[in-house]
Amino acid sequence: MTLSEFDIIERYFAPLGNFRGPAVRLGPGDDCAVIMPPSNEQLCVSSDTFIEGTHFPVDAPAAMTARRTLAAALSDLAAMGSKPLAVTGALTLASVSPEWLEEFANALGNCISVWQSPLVGGNISRGEALSITWTVMGSLPQEQFISRSGATEPSDIFVSGWPGRAGLALQRRLAGQQCSKKIAQHYEAPEPRLELGQHLRGLASAMIDVSDGLLADLNHILVASDVGAEIDLSSFNFDQALVAEAGDEVLARRLTLTAGDDYELCFVAPPEHRTTIADLSKQLDLPLTKIGQTKAAKGLTFCHPPEGMLMEPLLLQSGYQHF
Amino acid sequence: MTLSEFDIIERYFAPLGNFRGPAVRLGPGDDCAVIMPPSNEQLCVSSDTFIEGTHFPVDAPAAMTARRTLAAALSDLAAMGSKPLAVTGALTLASVSPEWLEEFANALGNCISVWQSPLVGGNISRGEALSITWTVMGSLPQEQFISRSGATEPSDIFVSGWPGRAGLALQRRLAGQQCSKKIAQHYEAPEPRLELGQHLRGLASAMIDVSDGLLADLNHILVASDVGAEIDLSSFNFDQALVAEAGDEVLARRLTLTAGDDYELCFVAPPEHRTTIADLSKQLDLPLTKIGQTKAAKGLTFCHPPEGMLMEPLLLQSGYQHF
């Protein structure tokens, strides 16, 4: 069966345009989509490309590819404290499989609805490798965006969720080994922390989503904010499930610090917000773990590492580059 | 020399972030860019992917690739009557050539400045083929966007500029033949009709940019608007330079009707705007040629074709698909 670009859009993607949300005035199918952002709000925008074999495994299930890549893209909105308005998707296909397309589009339809992120446009091309570029747009009240550069000292450093679990799941997957559902779900079905991001407006002074690894991404905050940090590695001990499944505390911590496949949020907040953040953690039923403090002295230092863990190689390795 | 994603961004693309325009509150380098759209205006957005060998020639000069692809993307804003606010670019490189990157970035820097379209974000990946996905965002006053579906009858159908010239230049280029600068410039340095598009707010009832070919794109308007049209092929006779260079009136008209590489605007306007549109043509020093009229009877008909020109094969061929 030969499906043209127009056939594919018509059959699999046009129906997704029916999910609109309050801001969409004109959906897919014209030269542009038209959106009415909330009055007097600012607009956040980010584009991300995901290539099979580089950013997601070759032969990953279509549904997982849809969900993981869109979650990763929306995670950038979460990291600014922004609420999604709309997304566009540019899909390059190396081959045309109706089964793959159907599974991909179904999963995507579910994601855009759950994450309230209408698909307003995009295109389909044929190329040598499967890839997807998402552009995500969101809004937020004026000057309330949370950049990487606002951290001061002394402030608390937090991370959401269960960093390291997705990394362990990926490691097992690549090795062809089994992994418990509890751990695997963080890789297979990551959740962009959109609600958390919006709640942190006015609380967090700096924020980033953890895509390249916790140390590497925290380092972006420290450099942009011109501060240093001390990380207390014992703070991660709350996640005994990760240690149990990794079978080794050193491996668990290495994944926590460098894996970055969870798309959790790392943020800095002044100490006076500690109680509010603890309450928010309960309200969202999501761990918000204080993992350290900003310092005037530049660079990263550590306390309470697990026995036998060397930090130097981690620091060197922490700037994992997809390129 | 091995340049990482971060090196490439830092060296070639980060400097382009210095061009901001009035709407950009936070440029590239954070999780998202932040934009403040003009108060109470709507937002237009479109994403387009361009793959080497499919959408532009293999070994096209880097500067031409930057200019042509961004022009094509911005042309979608023009076709809505929208004014650019910002663009993001996702570049996938098959190889890393500092010379190519420098030429590409220099040309891009020129384009974003001339077209007042700040580059606010994007990413660089390594892949099997060179490709670029641009996402363009523009604004316009509420409910003033010009969709494809607003054409009524009887109304005038217009096209801007010199459709067919870029198609001839591409044909010559692919055949390894020379072409005059006058014709070649329309392929090598297309101009998104941004100013024209904005001037047509309140005048044009439907509009599209000609990317797939004039007949194919006009047909999108006719289908969306539920009208037909008669095209007067003698109206294109004003462009004698195209006929002279093509060496053949039938070839010239075939390119005019099907080539679509010019990124001109095709629009429909009620007859009462004829004088205003003629004045606009003088003001912008740009041909705005009345090429026909909408009709109640569906489909496309033609009058005054050049001698020996068959319309049936053109109609069949006119829906050129990149896929």
Q: The CATH number of the domain where B239 resides is what?
A: 3.90.650.10
Is residue B122 in a domain?
yes
Say yes or no: A69 and A170 in one domain: no
Contacts of B175 (CB under 8 A, 6+ apart): none
Closest of B242, B200, B219, B23 to residue B120, by C-alpha: B23
Say yes or no: A59 and A83 in one domain: yes
- Please state the length of chain A: 323
Nearest chain A alpha carbon to B210: A31
Is residue B265 in a domain?
yes
What are B202's two structure tokens?
């309140």
Provide ipTM, 2 decimals: 0.94
User: Which of A78, A110, A141 represents a domain boundary (last residue)?
Assistant: A141
Closest of B45, B41, B206 to residue B140, by C-alpha: B41
Nearest chain B alpha carbon to A211: B31
Say yes or no: B15 and B136 in one domain: yes
Give the structural domain span for A180.
Answer: 156-317
Say yes or no: A206 and A313 in one domain: yes
Say yes or no: A133 and A161 in one domain: no
Say yes or no: B163 and B312 in one domain: yes
What are B196's two structure tokens?
């024209």
User: Which of B89, B108, B141 represents a domain boundary (last residue)?
Assistant: B141
Say yes or no: B111 and B236 in one domain: no
B230/B285 Cα distance (integer angstroms): 27
Say yes or no: A48 and A100 in one domain: yes
Q: The CATH number of the domain where B74 resides is what?
A: 3.30.1330.10
Say yes or no: A68 and A122 in one domain: yes
Check CB contact under 8 Å for B46 and A31: yes
The amino acid that residue A73 corresponds to is A
What are A132's two structure tokens?
């997807």
Tell which of A7, A8, A43 to mutate to test the B interface (max B CBs under 10 Å).
A43
CB atoms within 10 A of CB B243: 19
B209/B224 Cα distance (integer angstroms): 14
Chain Cα centroid distance, residue A23:
23
- Residues B294 and B250: beta-carbon distance below 8 Å: no
Is residue B150 in a domain?
no
What are A69's two structure tokens?
């890549």
Give contacts of A92 with chain B, Cβ < 8 Å: 49, 51, 131
Say yes or no: B162 and B292 in one domain: yes
Is residue A149 in a domain?
no
Q: Is the bond leading into A154 cis (omega within 30 degrees of zero)?
A: yes
Helix (H, G, I), strand (E, B) or coil at B202: coil
Tell which of A75, A133, A143 to mutate to test the B interface (max B CBs under 10 Å).
A133
Tell which of B20, B32, B56 to mutate to test the A interface (max A CBs under 10 Å).
B32
Element (H, E) at B42: strand B41-51
Give contacts of A197 with chain B, Cβ < 8 Å: none
- Residues B38 and B153: beta-carbon distance below 8 Å: no
**How many residue contacts between A and B have a Cβ separation below 8 Å?**
207
What are B177's two structure tokens?
């033949």
State pLDDT tens for residues A192-243: 999 999 999 999 999 999 998 999 999 999 999 999 999 999 999 999 999 9
Is residue B79 in a domain?
yes
- Residues B39 and A36: beta-carbon distance below 8 Å: no
Say yes or no: A161 and A123 in one domain: no
End-to-end Cα, chain A, rounded Å: 35
Domain count, chain A: 2
Say yes or no: A122 and A164 in one domain: no
- Tokens 């000069």 sit at which residue? B61
A130/A227 Cα distance (integer angstroms): 40
B121/B33 Cα distance (integer angstroms): 6
Residue A237 is classified by DSSP as G
Give contacts of B54 with chain A, Cβ < 8 Å: 125-127
pLDDT by 10s per residue, chain A, length 323: 578 888 999 999 999 999 998 999 999 999 999 999 999 999 999 999 999 998 888 889 999 999 999 999 999 999 999 999 999 999 999 999 999 999 999 999 999 999 999 999 999 999 989 999 999 999 999 999 999 999 999 999 999 999 999 999 999 999 999 999 999 999 999 999 999 999 999 999 999 999 989 999 999 999 999 999 999 999 999 999 999 999 999 999 999 999 988 999 999 999 999 999 999 999 999 999 999 999 999 989 999 999 999 888 887 766 534 33
Nearest chain A alpha carbon to B51: A127
Is residue A147 in a domain?
no
